Structure 1
Amino acid sequence: MTIARNTVCLWFDGEAEAAARFYAETFPDSAVTAVFRAPTDFPQGKAGDVLTVTFTVLGLPCLGLNGGPAFPQTEAFSFQVATDDQAETDRCWNAIVGNGGAESACGWCKDRWGLNWQITPRTLTEALAAGGDEAARAFQAMLTMTKIDVAAIDAARRG
Structure 2
Amino acid sequence: MPATKTDFPTQKIHPCLWFDKDGLEAAKLYTSIFSNNPHSKKDSAVVDESFITNESATLVTFKLNGQEFSALNGGPHYKHSPAISMFVTCENQAEVDYFWDELVKDGGKPVQCGWLTDKFGVSWQIVPRALLELSADEDKEKSKRVQQAMMKCIKMDVKALEDAYNGV
* Fold in common (TM above 0.5): yes
1:23 to 30, 51, 65: 30
Q: TM-score, normalised by structure 1?
A: 0.91
Q: Is the aligned partner of 1:155 residue 2:160?
A: no
Mapping for residues 2-151 of structure 1, pairs under 5 Å: 3=9, 4-27=11-34, 28=40, 29-38=43-52, 47-131=54-138, 132-151=140-159
Distance in 2 separating the partners of 1:48 and 1:151: 48
The alignment yields a C-alpha RMSD, in angstroms, of: 1.2
Q: 1:42 matched to which residue of 2?
A: none
- Structure 1: gaps (5+ residues): 39-45
Shift of 1:47: 4.3
Distance in 2 separating the partners of 1:125 and 1:58: 20
Shift of 1:126: 0.6
Distance in 2 separating the partners of 1:48 and 1:80: 32
Shift of 1:63: 0.5
Distance in 2 separating the partners of 1:57 and 1:111: 16
Task: Give the fraction of aligned pairs with identical amino acids, expressed as a percent.
Answer: 37
Shift of 1:94: 0.3
- Provide, for residues 20-57 of structure 1, a one-character-per-residue CA deviation record: whole Å limited to 9, x for no partner: 0000000133211111102xxxxxxx543211000012
Q: Which runs of 4+ in 1 moved over 6 A?
A: none
Q: 2:37 matched to which residue of 1?
A: none
Aligned pairs, number: 152
Q: Could you say what secondary structure the match of 1:17 adopts?
A: helix
- Structure 2: gaps (5+ residues): 1-5, 35-39
Q: TM-score, normalised by structure 2?
A: 0.86
